[in-house]
Structure 1
Amino acid sequence: MPNLSIILPAKNEAESLRTLLPRLKQAQPSAEIIVIDDGSTDNTRDLCDESGVTCLSSPYSMGNGAAVKRGARAAKGDVLVFMDADGQHDPADIPRLLSRLDEGYDMVVGARDASGQASLHRGLANALYNRIATWMTGHQILDLTSGFRAVRADKFREFLHLLPNGFSYPTTITMAFFRSAYGVAYQPIVAHQRVGTSHIRVFRDGVRFLLIIFKIATLYSPLKLFVPVSASFFSLGLGYYGYTFATQGRFTNMSALLFSASVIIFLAGLMSEQITGLTYLSTRSDRKHG
């Protein structure tokens, strides 16, 4: 059984795989390499067969996260390395990630600098996600959405049921590891420009990435998000009541609405906190009996 499995989700990435796969095999000759063909319409599968690399094909596109889950289930290694198949990640960086695992960490993430971001708006969005996640967890998070990471297979598989099928799997698995007190480290890397065209669409995926912010909260500590929002509505209601009482001598419907909203938001956060706790309790229970 190989100790290392390298998993590459791919959708129409034959152009970059043509040069990436030989470099991977040269850099990690003993590793198991698995390409997850996410409904590609190019010759990804034929290219993998020619390169002697395992290729798992889906009849239609199920999403990046779905490909990651499929690869994690099929991999035989004790350590999993996830890489993008578009040529952004350098196989020469894999030993640097693995060396951090040897220090006792459970997951090591390749952290891109500003030059490694696909575009200005993506870089700004990722910087915002990093700041929010750092605040939520109390740990410095350098790259929340990086797809280049090395992780212990048994711990990664504990959270497969939490991972979405779309693009936000890195966020989910990172917050799940922090929530479960598994060690996470960040290793600076240089990300190159991708080969071919990105599958990310600004308007279509903008809302999805906005939802990442809320996923950060619900996956880690919902009350950290809901309490400040609730307090803001309560403060607005109190301030508006003070204004209307001073000018009109009465309590208005708007003040009542703002106070009610603050209570509802707080209760929603409390319920989310309980659900989050039960989710991780169920995960630990499954791990104990698995």
Structure 2
Amino acid sequence: MGECTLPAPARLEYEPRALPPKFPHEISVVIPCLDESATIGELVERLASSLHSITAGFEIIVVDDGSRDATPRILSSMAADRPWLKVIRFRRSFGQTAALMAGFRAARGSILVAIDADLQNDPADIDNLLAKLGEGYDVVSGWRVQRNDQSIRRVLLSRVANRLISFATGVRLHDFGCTLKAYRREILEGVNLYGEMHRFIPAYASYNGARIAELPVRHRPRRAGSSHYGLNRVAKVILDLLVVVFLHRYAQKPIYVFGACGFASLLVSGLAAGAMVYFKFWGGKSFIETPLPWVWSTMFFIGVLCFLLGLIAEVVMRIYHEGRDHGTYRIATTFNFDAPKEKLRLQSKN
């Protein structure tokens, strides 16, 4: 999908109200949508009703992930007389992660909220998420304490996956799969998601220094349509988790992981060589009578290749970071710095 560079926040359209808002920031609500014609209209109206009472300005961005039902027609009709409703339609289905990223890129609010289109999330819970966000948190994640999914197997697998993700990433959440989340815009700067990694947004935010809170939210039974999730997602979650953990721990120094594999391979190669010599002179077996020469040579070349791959990965990562013209750090705020007359390039030396 390329890199996600979020544009600067801008004032959003909203209908004037006599009462002051509870939440003074502009909010962008992003809804990934696929074949949800039975619920999308009601969801948009309920969201608008809730947001009008709590925020100074808002926009609702629906990303149609290549729907084949009446969803595009419904959205087109609704957007005609609702300037705060923005619609993005994909040419085909690219998945929920791509839909969320497209919505975040297009969003102009300083607060970003994601919610599913099937009405299983309650739009009224957004008020509570924003209130928690106002306590100083950067991310507030919904927690479906009482899930109303029809498949018990899906609920059990979800619990196992949540515990695995919490253990591997160090981010202690009960429900990574809940789409209903609120984010401060700046915490998602530089976050790029691929494949099906939307469930790991809290982990990426945590790696950027975000303060994360979790809040119980309501979860309604699905009223129409069918879930787009299956058991094949379990393997994808595990593979994606490996990528997330690897990038977090070794993206800046990939030689560490490749070098460790190289040392382990050379150690096995050395042990095989020692055993080979032992059997030759004291065990009464020639080199060709055991598989040890094959083990020695294979592990030796694997070790060498690991070191070379690590060096190549180091060069690639340095080109990546230097090409983006910023260091391998994130600045929260600064004080008493005058605007420079010319742009200076700062580099982080590892």
Paired with 2:163 and 2:315, the residues of 1 have a C-alpha distance of: 25
| Contact 2:65–2:92 under 8 Å retained in 1 | yes
Secondary structure of the equivalent of 1:216?
A: helix
Please tell me whether Structure 1 or Structure 2 has the larger radius of gyration of its CA atoms. Answer: 2
Secondary structure of the equivalent of 2:121?
A: coil
In 2 relative to 1, CA 268–200 (structure 1 residues): closer, same or farther, beyond 3 Å? farther
Secondary structure of the equivalent of 1:15?
A: coil
Secondary structure of the equivalent of 1:182?
A: coil
Q: Which has the higher helix share?
A: 1
> Out of 143, 151, 165, which is 2:175 matched to?
143
The range that moved more, 12-21 or 257-266, is 257-266
> Out of 220, 239, 243, which is 1:215 matched to?
243
Paired with 1:189 and 1:104, the residues of 2 have a C-alpha distance of: 19
1:182-235 Cα deviation digits (max 9, x unpaired): 1121112222223311222334x4432331231332243259xx79x97xx99x
| Contact 1:105–1:182 under 8 Å retained in 2 | yes
Code of the aligned partner of 1:168: M
Give 1:62's aligned residue.
Answer: 94
Structure 1: 5+ residue runs without aligned partners?
Answer: none
Give 2:225's aligned residue.
Answer: 196
Q: CA deviation at 1:93?
A: 0.6
Structure 2: 5+ residue runs without aligned partners?
Answer: 1-10, 13-25, 332-342, 344-350
> Out of 51, 73, 89, which is 1:46 matched to?
73
Paired with 1:186 and 1:280, the residues of 2 have a C-alpha distance of: 32
Give 1:163's aligned residue.
Answer: 193
In percent, how many aligned pairs have the same letter? Answer: 28
Give 2:129's aligned residue.
Answer: 97
Paired with 1:106 and 1:145, the residues of 2 have a C-alpha distance of: 18
1:220-276 Cα deviation digits (max 9, x unpaired): 3259xx79x97xx99xx7xx99xx99xx96979679978998998899899989988
Code of the aligned partner of 2:68: T
| Contact 1:6–1:80 under 8 Å retained in 2 | yes
- Are 1:15 and 2:38 matched, yes or no? yes
In 2 relative to 1, CA 274–16 (structure 1 residues): closer, same or farther, beyond 3 Å? farther
Q: Given the two structures, how large is their TM-score scaled by the length of structure 1?
A: 0.75
In 2 relative to 1, CA 147–274 (structure 1 residues): closer, same or farther, beyond 3 Å? farther
Code of the aligned partner of 1:8: I
> Out of 20, 29, 46, which is 1:6 matched to?
29
Q: How many residues align?
A: 284
Q: CA deviation at 1:60?
A: 1.8
Structure number with the bigger relative contact order (C-alpha 8 A, sep ≥ 6) is: 1
| Contact 1:158–1:283 under 8 Å retained in 2 | no
1:166-196 Cα deviation digits (max 9, x unpaired): 432121x222111121112111222222331
Secondary structure of the equivalent of 2:29?
A: strand
In 2 relative to 1, CA 282–145 (structure 1 residues): closer, same or farther, beyond 3 Å? farther
Q: What CA RMSD, in Å, does the superposition of the two structures yield over aligned residues? A: 4.1
> Out of 48, 53, 57, which is 1:25 matched to?
48
Give 1:285's aligned residue.
Answer: 326
Paired with 1:279 and 1:116, the residues of 2 have a C-alpha distance of: 44
| Contact 1:78–1:152 under 8 Å retained in 2 | yes
1:60-98 Cα deviation digits (max 9, x unpaired): 222211111211122121101000111111011101111
| Contact 1:9–1:68 under 8 Å retained in 2 | yes
